Amino acid sequence: MSSVIRHGNAVKPISIPSLADVNPDNWDRVQSFGIAVNQPTEKLYELGYAEKIATAKEILEASVSINQLEYGSIDAFLQLAGLSAEPVAGLALSDFNESKTDFYLPGKTTYGGIVEETVWLQKMVLDSFTIEMNAEERIQRTFEMSGNFCKIARGANKCLVFKTDTVGSGEAGTFNIVLSDPAPVVSPNQAGTYIL
């Protein structure tokens, strides 16, 4: 049985600040996008019994490392700060304190092909960034982020839909939000539950 090795041109990182009203944006000049997921567990024992009685699962740990070539744009920094434009005084480290960013990577069969799956990292916070220049005068940025959510959407659930609806102040009664494009599908993990 052979496995198909995908080329990096079939994946494009896209970010959307999750705590701000900022549009999603493609990440250009990305050289590497490394995802790590860890599910910490602890084996529980009791006195007088040699066998494990349970396993306690702790909060999932997800991290991502992005290496990007410098190209004279601060779009990546604005996305990570949850800003749509550079502040008059310029960016400050404090702009990143409260921000959280979702990343999603549609995985296609080939460049410009059909989406097969989507990796979704939710509410990632910026831990650190570095800027370095090598002997060939190539400038690169590296962003290190962490969070608690990483999902892979496949099959009928392979696409993410971001829908925003604004409710006016003092809205009376029930306010309905219609999710029909695309239509929700039944969760493969739980019958009777619909997901987008």
CATH at residue 136: 2.30.110
Please say whether the beta carbons of 104 and 119 come within 8 A. yes
| Amino acid letter, 172 | A
Residue 164 lies in a domain: no
Is 0.85 surpassed by the pTM of this model? Answer: no
Our CA dihedral for 78, 150, 34, 97, rounded to 10 degrees, sits at: 30
Res 114: pLDDT: 79
Res 186: pLDDT: 74
Please say whether the beta carbons of 125 and 143 come within 8 A. no
Q: How far is CA 5 from the centre of its chain?
A: 23
> In DSSP terms, which residues pair with 186 in a beta bridge?
194
Number of domains in the chain: 1
Handedness of CA 49, 55, 56, 62 (dihedral sign): positive
Q: Which are the contacts of 93, defined by CB distance < 8 A and separation ≥ 6? A: none
Please say whether the beta carbons of 101 and 4 come within 8 A. no
> In DSSP terms, which residues pair with 138 in a beta bridge?
none
Q: Domain range for residue 69?
A: 8-45+54-158
In whole angstroms, what is the distance from residue 7 CA to residue 109 CA? 9
Residue 181 lies in a domain: no
| Residue that the structure tokens 């590497």 belong to | 32
Which three-class secondary structure state does DSSP give residue 120?
strand
Please say whether the beta carbons of 150 and 37 come within 8 A. yes
Per-residue pLDDT of the chain (196 residues; tens, 9 = 90+): 445 556 667 778 999 898 778 888 989 899 888 898 888 888 889 998 889 888 888 888 899 999 999 888 889 999 999 998 899 998 898 999 889 999 988 888 777 777 888 888 999 999 999 999 888 778 999 999 999 888 888 877 777 766 666 677 776 777 777 766 666 777 777 777 766 5
Residue 73 lies in a domain: yes
Please say whether the beta carbons of 69 and 140 come within 8 A. yes
CA angle 185, 182, 193 (to 5 degrees): 20
In whole angstroms, what is the distance from residue 136 CA to residue 165 CA? 49
